Amino acid sequence: MNTALCTTYLGVPIQNPFILASAPPTATGDMVRRAFEAGWGGAVVKTLIHEPVHNLPNRFAVIRNGGRITGFENLELLSEQSPDQWYQDIATIKADFPHCPIIGSIMGSADSPEQWLSLARGCQDAGADLLELNFSCPHGYPERGRGAAIGQNPDIAARITGWLTNCKEITIPIIPKLTAAVADIRHIAEELAQAGAHGFCAINTIPSFFGFDLHTLRPKPDIGGMTSYGGYSGPGIKPIALRAVSEICQSPGLPVMASGGIASGFDAAEFMLLGAPVVQVGTEVMLRGFGLVDRMQQELREFMGWHGFNTPADFIGRCRKSAISFEKLSGDYDCRPRLLAERCTGCGACYTACRDGGYQAIRWNHSLPEIDQAVCTACSLCSQVCPSGAISME
C-alpha cells in the first residue's frame, strides 16, 4: 500500500482516492476483484435492482477529436446480476480484500420503502462499507419514475433518503448520487442533507442525444434504425461535474465523491482541491482498462510534488472558496495581454479571432501581431486561441 495517497471518506480508510464508479467495469464480482488486484482503492458495484435487467446490443456511441475519444454515450441499464448474487460476491470479495471499500449501489421504486430497505440490508449484511442511492440514471428509468426522475424532485429524493437514514437497522453511511440535470443541485443536496444523507456522489452521466451518421442517416447509437436519449460521459462533462462538486462542497458541505469526466490523476487533483476526498472513474476505465490506475496515481503524486504536499489531506479543499458568485468578482482586477515575440509563429489566429470575435484590437506590424492597448478590453480571447503560447495575460 502506498500510504502517501491514503485518504478517508466518511470514516472509511481508502488506500488511494481512485474508486471505480457504478458502471460496466463493476458489472460482476470478478471484475471488481480484478480491479482491486490492479490497485484500485475501492469500487461501487453496478446498481442493484429487484427486476431483471436486459441490456440492448450496440448501446454505446462516441465523439472523437482526432483519434481521441472526448465524449461517450451509453444506453446501459443497471446490473444484470440478481441482488442475491451480488450479496454473495460482496461477501467473498470483502473477505479477500478487507482494506478495499465496496460501495453498494441500489435503486427502487419511489413509492416502495421496502424495495430500498431490503436492498440496503442485503448490501450491509454482505459487508458493504457505504451505500450509494442511484437518484440520477438519465435513461431507461426516469420514464418509470426512478433514476433521475427521483433526483430531480427534492421531495421524493428526501423521502427515500429518510426511509434509509431513519431505519435503525441501516448503520452504514447513505450517499445519494445526484444528477446535474437540475436547475440548482445545491438546493437538492441541502434538502437531502436535511433528510439525513451522510455524503453525496456527483455527478452521473448527462442526458444527451448523439446525432446521426450523415452518410447513412442512421442515429447514434443505432439500435435497429432507432435510438433513444442516453447518458453522456467522458472528458467533455468534467467542467459540469466540477461546478456541481464545487457547489455541494460549499453547501451543504457534506463529503462528496466526485465523478464525471475524470481521465487522469491531474483531473482528480482538481476535484480534490474543491473538497472531494475521493473520485470515481468509469468511462476512462472502459476505454483504457483497470491498469489505468497506475498512471493516475503517478500523476497525482506528480501534482503533489509540485507543491510539496505529503498526503491528500494537505490539499483536499484547499481551493474550495475559489468559486464565488459572479457579482462578488472584483471589478478592480486588471490584466493585459502581452506578446512574447520569440514564441510567435505569425499564424494569425489571434488577429482573426480578435477581428471577428473580439474588439479589433490587433493589427499586423512586420509579420507580428501588435496589440492596441487603448482598444483592447483584456477579454483574453487572443491568448486562448494562440497555439504557441505567445500571448500571456499579465
- Same-domain status, 238 and 273: yes
Domains contained in the chain, number: 2
346 with 40: CB under 8 angstroms? no
pLDDT digits (tens, 9 = 90+) for 255-286: 999 999 999 999 999 999 999 999 999 999 99
Indicate whether 328 belongs to any domain.
no
Ranges of residues in the chain whose predicted pLDDT is under 70: 1-2
Question: Judging by DSSP bridges, how do beta strands 337-339 and 278-281 pair with one another?
Answer: unpaired
- Same-domain status, 339 and 300: no
Q: Give the Cα-Cα-Cα angle 1, 265, 270 (nearest 5 degrees).
A: 120
> Rounded distance, CA 292 to CA 94, Å?
23
pLDDT of residue 31: 98
- Same-domain status, 275 and 362: no
Helix (H, G, I), strand (E, B) or coil at 233: strand
Indicate whether 340 belongs to any domain.
yes
- Same-domain status, 220 and 351: no
Indicate whether 107 belongs to any domain.
yes
Indicate whether 345 belongs to any domain.
yes
For 96, the enclosing helix (H) or strand (E) is: helix 83-96
Read off the pTM: 0.96
- Same-domain status, 196 and 220: yes
- Same-domain status, 145 and 98: yes
Percent helix, strand and coil across the chain, each to the nearest 5: 35, 20, 45
The domain that contains 340 carries what CATH number?
3.30.70.20
pLDDT of residue 180: 98
pLDDT of residue 331: 84
Out of 275, 302, 322, a domain closes at 322
- Same-domain status, 292 and 386: no
* Structural domain for 232, as ranges: 3-322
Q: Give the Cα-Cα-Cα angle 40, 133, 26 (nearest 5 degrees).
A: 35
> Rounded distance, CA 214 to CA 236, Å?
22
- Same-domain status, 317 and 339: no
pLDDT of residue 2: 58
Out of 289, 322, 355, a domain closes at 322
- Same-domain status, 224 and 345: no
CA 58 to the chain's CA centroid: 24
- Same-domain status, 386 and 254: no
What's the start-to-end Cα distance of the chain, in Å? 43
Indicate whether 79 belongs to any domain.
yes
pLDDT digits (tens, 9 = 90+) for 119-168: 999 999 999 999 999 999 999 999 999 999 999 999 999 999 999 999 99
* Residues taking part in catalysis: 137
- Same-domain status, 145 and 231: yes
- Same-domain status, 294 and 180: yes
